[in-house]
Each structure stands twice: as structure tokens, then as C-alpha cells.
Structure 1
């Protein structure tokens, strides 16, 4: 097995993990601060991807497409929080699951009605196309490398927001004791709307960025949503640090598992059996990882604080 190929797959795992982090960071804040199970988070990811693809096709600008995806997802988040989600905070989790599942259906059919049933495509901008040569002769996609960098910058920005700003203090206080900060004069409704809009914007941005390396289609958010829930369970609900670590663990486990396990089984089995067994185990690897973390740390790696 080539070490260069292993390095490329490791970078792919990091890139996948960073995009999962953008999804999971907003989801863990919403769940941790607002106590809301939001199954429609993946739909906001899809909205960001479709708006980005449509904007890029109309304007020819990838940067405008990213800005449009952020704005559209944040606006969609504000609208659904104010009209629907706000009615669910005092309801039990079953009601939240049913209502946000209904939102998935509404977003899917609405997107199909507006954009059609055929997938859209978002081209990588010329400035970010091609490959770069990394140390030890590793050739890697420039765009995927930029995605890793974008994820790191956003992670740093979120750490600073949560840890160093007045809004971050309110978010952390809202997770620990929302009644107390309400009694101190903080507008809880406005805080919840801001948190939901932030989470929606991050999901929309993730969808736009991924839309350049895969097709943009209805339903693309649901598989990613499942992985995002795995990430926040591993990392700990309400923790940005946990979302980052959990996302990287899931990204690397999934990518390297699909690459290494069939090769490992090929040492003792014939190629067809090795591929079948290795692929099956690789698809289970992240859930085995989640189970192992929960056995050792039932609240996740960094559960207990929005940090």
C-alpha cells in the first residue's frame, strides 16, 4: 500500500470531517442551548447547496454563491424558528421530532417544486481547481485543501465567539440556566433566534461548499444529518470543541475504514469477499466508535458545556 495514497485518504477524511463539523456545530448549539431536536437541519444544508448552485449559474461568481447560501439558510432558519420552532420549546421531544420531520417533507417538496427533480451542479472556481504538491510528493486537490482551511477558520471563529464575546456568554448561560438569564433581562426569544440562524447559516455554507464536489439534489441533507447526530453524541451535546473532535474522528474513521478494511481482509480472503466484508464493516465503523465512546463517557467526550 502506497504511503502517498494513505496520506491522500487521510486528507480526504480531514476534509469530510471539517464539513461535518459545520453541520454539527450548529446542531449541537441548537440542541444544547435550546433543547430542541431539529431533524430539519439537513434541509437547511440542502437549501444552501441549491441556492449556491442557482446563484453561481446566474452570476458566474462562486463567492456570491457562498454569500447567497449563507443568507438564504440563515433567513430560512429565522423564518421557521419564529413561525414553527418557537412553539415547540416547551413541548416534549416527540412533538419536536414530528414537527421537524414534517419540515423535512415540506422543504424537500418545496425545493423540488422550485428547482425541479434533476440534480444541479456547482463548478469549482478556476482559482481553486487543480492540485497542489504537498511535502513528500503528495498531490492533492486544492479545493479540498481549502475546505479544510475554511473549516479550521470557522472553528476558530466559533471558539472566539463562544468564549470571548457577550453573545457567547449568553449562549453558555442559556444552556446552563435559561430561566436565570431571562430574569436578568436577556431577551430569550431573540437569543434563540440568533442561535438558530447561526446554526442554519453554517449548515447552508456546508451544503454550498460540498455542492462543488458532488451533485446538488433533493434529499442530500438527510444522510449528512445522521452523521451530524453521531458527531454530537460522540463529542458531547452543546460543545463546539466536542463537535470539532467528533467530526474529525467520524471523518477519519469513515474514510480510512472504507480504504483500509477491504485491503486488510484481502490479506486472508479472496478479493470479492474482502471487498464485501470490508465495506460492510467500514459502514459500521462510526457507529462502533460511537458505542465505544458512550460506554466510556456516556455524555460524550466533552459533554456538559457549550465550549
Structure 2
């Protein structure tokens, strides 16, 4: 009988494991200590802040999931993504005022943002494939033009939609967090539904296989007889439409005002960088981390709350340069 040799970990693997453990202790230790202190100090404040952070993260995920498709997966640099969010929000606001239907407002915000995104991809970005600098400069210009047009049409006044009637008012009867906003809590379910649907689309459908194959080898997919331009155009429109849905939701939760496009674009960039390029699950994790960091920062350290966002970026780029679930090239 042949002897079974023991498996001895390589020195490099042991070093990586030790470095990972040290990272978890360095980052997780202070966070765990803070959570225990905050929970015992005021359980209600801690749990409400936790829910607020997760619901804000859900909104960030809905917007950033479209950015994940366009930037993280297709590698199209669309810095007008925040403008699509704003367009969807204003369109949803108008439709809701005219019809009184929140669901129709969501559908209109999605449709108009998707159509605008489709035009951007077909008329402009399609002719700049793999030209990141040109895409960056052109989409920055587009975002400025769209933002100025929206200010011209809607002025700089704050616009805010009402939540649908079936989601207005607080939810009562929940221990500790009694009277929490029904609409805000519904964002968790909506984010989960969109996340699962996107994951199934990319990993369990023929369309998703074509999208991923076109990203990896565009020429091979075209040689196999598929219309790559059509696949990419539909994907871009879907990503833009998700930004429009986020705009309608944000019109209720955050209100519509000039400058929100820049804020949501920055949030989407952070979510994609933290979560990992092209990963829907990574985007969900990144959005949750960003939402929690912003909310807990505003409640427990308002003076330094903005620092936490950039601290997250520093830690991720230092220890996981490709993001939490990013794949090696």
C-alpha cells in the first residue's frame, strides 16, 4: 500500500491566511465592539439606525445594480448614470401627479430612463468601445447637459412624491422598532426581488450567458452568429431603466433636487468598487456597507460621517483591490 503524504500548506498560502485573519480582527474587532456598546446603550436607536442603513443600502443597490451591468460587467464608463436616476425621478413625479398611480410612475420612470440609455448606447457609446477616456469625458458632458435641462424644466425647487396609499404610515406592533415606516421597510423587499431577478438573468438564462460571453470575447460571440450590438444595447437599456426605478423610489424617500444625480453616481461607483466589478451579490454587499456606514455615521458621529465612506474605500482598496467579490483578471 502506498503511504498517504500529509498536505502541507505552502508558505505563501499560510501568509495569505494569516494576513486575512489579521484583517478581519483589525476591521471587525472595532465594529463588533461599537455594535455591542450601541446595542446596550440604546437598543431602539441602534435597531432603527440599522434598519435605516439597510433600507438606504437597498436604494443604493437598486441604482447601482444598473451601474454594475453597464460599468462593472460591460465595461462601459457611463458617468451620466446619476442623470438617468434624476430623469426617472422627475418623470415618475409628473406621472404620479397626473394619474395618482405610483406603480404607473415606476413603470414610466423605468421606460423613459431605459429609452434614454438606449439612445446613449446606440448613438454614442457604441462607437467608443474600449475607449475609457473618451467615454468618461463624453458622459460627463452628457450629465452636465441633462442636469441643466432638468433645472430649466423643473427649476431648482425640491420635488417629492407621496408614497402609495398602501404603504403610507407606520407599521405598528413590532417590538422595539414600533411605528417604523412601511414604505421604507418595503425597500428591503424590493431590493431583494431586483437582486434575485438580476442574478437569475445573468446566471440562469440564455440572455445572461450571451451578455457574459460578449464581455469575455466579443468577437467570438459575434462569430457564433449572435447580434452582439443588440445584446449590449438591451443590457445598457436595462441598466439605465434600473436607475430610473431608483429615481422614482428616491423621489419618495430622498426627494428630487439638483445635485442628487452626483450623489447617487458617487454612491454607485463606491458600491461597484467595494463589491467587485460585475458582481450582483458584491453590489448588494457594497450597497449594504455604504448605507450602514452613512447612517451610523450620521447618528453616532455626525461631524465625521463623511469620513467613513472614504475609510471603506481605503480599506477595500488596500486589502481587496478588486473588491470583496471581485474576480482576478
TM-score, scaled to structure 2: 0.84
Say whether 1:180 aligns with 2:204. no
Root-mean-square deviation (Å): 1.5
After the TM superposition, which of the residue ranges 42-51 and 78-87 deviates more from structure 2? 78-87
- 2:136 matched to 1:97? yes
User: Equivalent residue for 1:160?
Assistant: 200
Match of 1:36? 76
* 1:219 matches 2:242: no
Question: Any idea what SS the aligned residue of 2:55 has?
Answer: helix
CA contact (8 A) 1:37 1:97 kept: yes
Render the CA deviation track for 1:233-287: whole Å, top value 9, x for unaligned.
Answer: 0111111111111111111111112222x3xxxxxxxxxxxxxxx522x211121
The answer to whether the aligner puts 1:289 opposite 2:329 as a matched pair is: no
Q: What is residue 177 of structure 2 aligned with on the other side?
A: 138
| Corresponding position of 1:2 | 42
What displacement does 1:173 show? 1.4
Contact 1:33-1:174 within 8 A present in 2 as well: no
What is the TM-score normalised by the length of structure 1? 0.89
Unmatched segments (≥5 aa) in structure 2: 1-40
Give the drift of 1:177.
1.9
- Pairing 1:279–2:303 present: yes
Match of 2:327 in 1: 304
Deviations along 1:17-52, one digit per CA (max 9) or x if unpaired, are 111111211112112333211100000000010000
1:228 is paired with a residue whose SS is helix
| Residues in 2 aligned to 1:137 and 1:255: alpha-carbon distance in whole angstroms | 19
Q: Is the 8 Å Cα contact of residues 72 and 272 (structure 2) preserved in structure 1?
A: no
Q: Pick closer, same or farther for the CA change 1:40–1:75 going to 2, 3 Å.
A: same
- 1:108 maps to 147
Alignment of 1:69-108 (within 5 A): 69-91=109-131, 93-108=132-147
Gaps of 5+ in 1: 263-277
2:98 aligned with 1:58, yes or no?
A: yes
CA contact (8 A) 1:29 1:238 kept: yes
**Which of 202, 209, 227 is the aligned partner of 1:169?**
209
By how many angstroms is 1:5 displaced? 1.5
Cα offset, 1:134, TM superposition: 5.8
Matching residue of 1:272: none
Shift of 1:108: 1.0
Look up the SS of the partner of 1:237 in the other structure.
coil
Distance 2:287 2:254 in 1: 19
Contact kept in structure 1, 2:91 and 2:108, CA below 8 Å: yes
Between Structure 1 and Structure 2, whose CA radius of gyration is higher? 2
Aligned residue among 16, 31, 35 for 2:56: 16
